[in-house]
Amino acid sequence: MTPRQKEIYDLYQQYQNFSEVARLLNIDKTVARRTYRRAEQYLDTDSGIKSAMTDTGLSDINKVHSGWLKTDEASLYFVNPKEEGGVDNLIDTFKEALKDCPTSLPTAAPEGTNADLLTRYILTDLHFGMRAWGKESGEDYDLEIAANRLKETLSTLVETTPDSKHCVVLNLGDMFHSNDHKNMTPGSGHILDADGRFSKVIYETIQSVVATIETLKSKHESIEYVGISGNHDPDSNQFLTVALMMRYQDDPRVDVIWNPAKMWCTTFGKNLLAAHHGDKVTPQRLAMQVADEFSPGWGKTYWRYLDTGHIHHDSAKDIGGIFWESHRTLASRDAYATGSAFTSRKTLKAITVHREKGEIVRNTVGVQ
């Protein structure tokens, strides 16, 4: 158990209230609750397993059940491959990508951020792993181009956004062009133009998303990552979110939201923020779903926003009491989109809302 986990565990045993623990330590209540749960997991681990891990250095993992190893220096999760079915190679790939990322250590938050502001960065339909040939589609696109384009546009965007205390990295889906090594759409089985091996796509995508979060840590005090699966990546996007959870599990400034459902919703002051990839359903139906399933949040808010992707171009309108908006992508067109006469411009957006006043500013960076 880490010293921080022990501190939070002991305080909760004393006060039995996460809000009080958060107040005493000047941290978010969610962080306090999450850290306490990790401490519980450690305490519940079989003492024989913990002793064997300490004495042998985990020399034979095949004799150990999946579980946590917690010390004052590190928090590690060990997976017994026999318990994980047929996904060994995929898990190994995600671990390899995380290993090469710089260690996520607690860092000082930027000073002077505005606690009444929240900025959401819209990452939608980036299609990492897509291959486009310029002579066929008008412009080249591959893994390297996708990673560099995201890095460069985000760098410009961060310079122009307000110094909001809170930010949301909103992955609206289709972060991956393919769901697995078959390079076919999961639903219809359409053949996809892919750039390289799927393991390489996983590796580069994790690297790019981690770099995005690390960049935002220099601007915002609290970062929340939300991953929503698209029609191209219903499974691979979930793996990405779990990998990021492992990466940032002990970083108090980054909260990774695992959202297996297609719809995500939260509130910030008088703002309701909802998101969906946008496939297989109309905006009107999505608006009704938000009003029905998230009625408590709907009832206490005045400004309501519903973000979607999927169609790769900007479109927006008021639907009842919520403002729906689809967003452009940074990805280039593939051969299918070009052949179907689909056109759009490439942009990356950051939209900032005030706790009481709703949206106050948006920043957009375009790519020609």
Band the pLDDT of 4: cuts 50, 70, 90. confident
Q: Helix H segments across 138-257?
A: 143-160, 198-217, 236-247
Tell me the mean pLDDT in the region 67-79: 50
- Pick the closest to residue 124 from 302, 313, 364 (CA basis): 313
Tell me the mean pLDDT in the region 85-103: 57
* Token pair belonging to 293: 């399933």
CA distance 135 to 141: 11
Band the pLDDT of 86: cuts 50, 70, 90. very low
Q: Are strands 303-308 and 315-319 parallel, antiparallel or unpaired?
A: unpaired
* Token pair belonging to 99: 């290993």
- Pick the closest to residue 366 from 333, 328, 315 (CA basis): 328
pLDDT in the model for residue 91: 57
State pLDDT tens for residues 244-276: 999 999 999 999 998 889 999 999 999 999 999
pLDDT in the model for residue 96: 63
Tell me the mean pLDDT in the region 8-23: 89
Phi/psi region, residue 345 (left: phi>0; alpha: psi -120 to 50; beta: rest), is beta
Band the pLDDT of 303: cuts 50, 70, 90. very high
Indicate the range of 70-79, 236-245, 287-296 predicted with least confidence: 70-79
CA distance 219 to 159: 9
- On the question of pLDDT at 155 being above 70, the answer is yes
Q: Are strands 358-367 and 303-308 parallel, antiparallel or unpaired?
A: unpaired
Q: Are strands 114-123 and 164-171 parallel, antiparallel or unpaired?
A: parallel
Q: Above pLDDT 90, what percent of the chain?
A: 64
- On the question of pLDDT at 56 being above 50, the answer is no
pLDDT in the model for residue 15: 87
pLDDT in the model for residue 72: 52
State pLDDT tens for residues 314-330: 999 999 999 999 999 99
Tell me the mean pLDDT in the region 130-140: 92
pLDDT in the model for residue 87: 46
* Token pair belonging to 78: 């060990």
